[in-house]
Chains A and B, each alone.
Chain A
Amino acid sequence: MGARHIELGLSNEQVVEMYRIMYLARKVDERQWLLNRAGKLPFVISCQGQEAAQVGAAFALVKGKDYLCPYYRDAGVVLAMGMTARDQMLAAFAKAEDPNSGGRQMPGHFGSRKHNIMTQSSPTGTQIPHAVGFALAAKIEKKDFVSFVTLGEGTSNQGDFHEGLNFAGVHKLPVICMVENNKYAISVPLKKQLACESVADRAAAYGIPGITVDGNDPLEVYRVVKEARVRAITGHGPTLIEAVTYRLVPHSSDDDDRTYRSREEVETAKQKDPITLFRKYLLENGAINEEELTAIEERVIAEVDEATEYAERAPYPDPESTLKHVYA
């Protein structure tokens, strides 16, 4: 019996690369928390626990062709689509060289024309109609790219979620909407967010498929996103995917999650840390051996060290640049 990834058409190298990116996302994140607690970074917003869903999904898209509207937790997605650890750290330190916004936005507000990542804002959900707009462009220009938008389950309650998906459903637009259901919208648990059982239930309202998937399994997420992409480019319209995961850390460095959930719950979730699980998968399925894997991990740490140093030394934007780029 072939390993699951082989059956999905992924090579060993590809899944190892998947892992590397997941691991990179995690390590960058951990480093940022450290710097925050050390008083060097004012704000951190995390992806820990959701890397599998993000990287798995990203691998199903076509780099440089598909358009992305990620949300603030999607470090895994953007790293998979070509952004680097250095980019992340430059954004964290808000330096001039930050490719997302030149230090103008808080970290997590991804954007890079080069990588087809649409610039993001803070009001949640506004990116969904944007993604639909990109999909509309694909239809108008008769091109075979898709747009991929992610959000949290809390945001799936925003009007723009409904309006965007409805528009896309009516016009059969090639958009893939993935909700990363990590069970909490800051402190508000799922039970207080959704009147229905799962986010995927809502798909029916838009005449589109709604699929719930184990967000901790990158291969599963890869599978469903891949299928959604095929549907999209063959004119079958949008898909709503609900990747069920868990947020292992507080919402952001300004949040204290001890006020709304127990340590036991978090510990239990850590047992299912997707990185640990996937590491195990790789070794068990002979995709790589321990020595090589450790070496990769060490290189990742070195990359994070280099990125941190670089970003710390990089210059801030010129204060007067505040006035630029209001209009063309």
Chain B
Amino acid sequence: MATKILMPQLGESVTEGTITKWLVKVGDKVKKYDPICEVITDKVNAEVPSSVSGTVTEIIAQEDETVPVGGPICYIEEEGSEASAPAKELAETSLNPVSAAPSTHTNQRYSPAVLKLANEHQIDLSQITGTGLGGRVTRKDILAFIEKGGTGATATEPSIQREAVQPVQPEQVQPTVSPTRSVPAPAPSISSSMPGDIEIPVTPIRKAIANRMLTSKHEAPHAWTMIEVDVTGLVQYRNQIKDDFKKKEGVNLTFLPFFIKAVVDAIKEYPILNSQWAGDRIIQKKEINISIAVATDEALFVPVIKNADEKNILGLARAIDDLARRTREGKLTQEDITGGTFTVNNTGSFGSVLSMPIINYPQAAILSIEAIVKRPVIYNNMIAIRDMVNLCLSLDHRILDGLVCGRFLQSIKEKIESIGPDTKLI
């Protein structure tokens, strides 16, 4: 009984591999973990080890042949012991680490009536226990759910007996530093409220934000790095000119335009920071459209400064002012909030000194500018009080790695640290 050897997954996003060299031939005896062939993938070159001990009986994939992950490459006749077929390992990344009662999710077919009501009332259907055939969520169920204010699992008439469905245990939600970007719990849990709890309905905006956050975290493997920047020069400079600037231009001169300018210039040097993952390719965007986060009382909006590389400090200051104002007035258009290629988040305005922002999907990275604080640092081999700011970068590790990001941040640092009385605004 020969065991089929399959093309392994040699990288996180690898979908196939090409056999470059067979290290064994038919008839050769191999021990478990002996290398049997060399494979090249788009991420890595590797040797494929045998998963069993035995004799090679058949070579299926030839040299230079490309085989999809999980596809057969050869047969090895195992000696003696029972073969455990090295089945293709696909990690069961369940969103639900706690084993959920099967009936909550068995019948995911929702009728048009149920979907319509769920949509109208912003209900997460996984929260409702179905009393219909096979655990189906019926129109009655969702109507009862709505009537009860959108909480609780079951809503059936007592006279109809159904198998009792156990709701999933509520998960603890771990908040991170940035209050506007709480990482959602990995499991869609059913929380029940206690007397005294306040229930806030989920608005369509909140729901949309939640979905985006989830998608971003789910799709892009986030990595994070940061750099400290000495902005003493910038602070002094700005203090000097800000009043005149306000008088002359009519807009406030904050630190943000300076940072954005530095970011944009750094992007020009390292354009890979301005790209998107597209499955089988990475698209490096030509336009540099900087998304900036603007917080209002209800939500966080992310309007876009289009073609930021074509603007100087003044232009950026104006653009920021305009977008912020229109955000607060609720006058953002579809144009304003789409097309961003890189995001700059001014977390420092809340006093944060460190944050791990969530990438604005489908961009490649996001930079947060933390609060500028006076700190004692070593300056010219002496302790000095300097204005320091942390720049934190979250990156999509499919596209970017530490090296290029480090260089990118370094470039920004140099540009910011060189701001002084000679800096030109226009």
Direct contact of A and B (CB under 8 A): no
